[in-house]
Amino acid sequence: MYLELVKQVSQVEQETEASVRQAAQQAQQMQEEAERSGRALVEQTRRDLQQLETQRRRQAAEDAEAARQQALREVQADCDALRQRAGAKMPQAVDTILRRVVQE
């Protein structure tokens, strides 16, 4: 009976050691998988950030171009208004110049 108990204890110890090795191996595999997943997530996040930065720059360029076009339209409108006012005063200016030339 003592011999059988020793065999059982020995067998339980071997099974325990095998379970510990298997658990250690599984833990190592889980750690490696977690590291791979973490690296992949970091890389994906970098790509996403680069894409967002590119989109932000593109949007900023589009906004700047829209602002430039708007400023150009405003300047053109101001120029047109000045031309109109100058054109309205042109007959009076011509008349004044002709009177001065005739008087001299």
Per-residue pLDDT of the chain (104 residues; tens, 9 = 90+): 778 888 888 888 998 999 999 999 999 999 999 999 999 999 999 999 999 999 999 999 999 999 999 999 999 999 999 999 988 888 888 888 888 888 86
Provide DSSP, 59-75: HHHHHHHHHHHHHHHHH
Q: For the beta carbon of residue 33, count every other beta carbon within 10 angstroms.
A: 10
Q: Where are the alpha helices (DSSP H) in the chain?
A: 2-103
Half-sphere exposure of 8 (CA within 13 A, CB side): 5
Cα 15 to chain centroid, rounded: 55
Q: What's the burial of 84, exposed, middle or buried (CB within 10 Å: 0-12/13-18/19+)?
A: exposed
The pLDDT, as a whole number, for residue 104 is 67
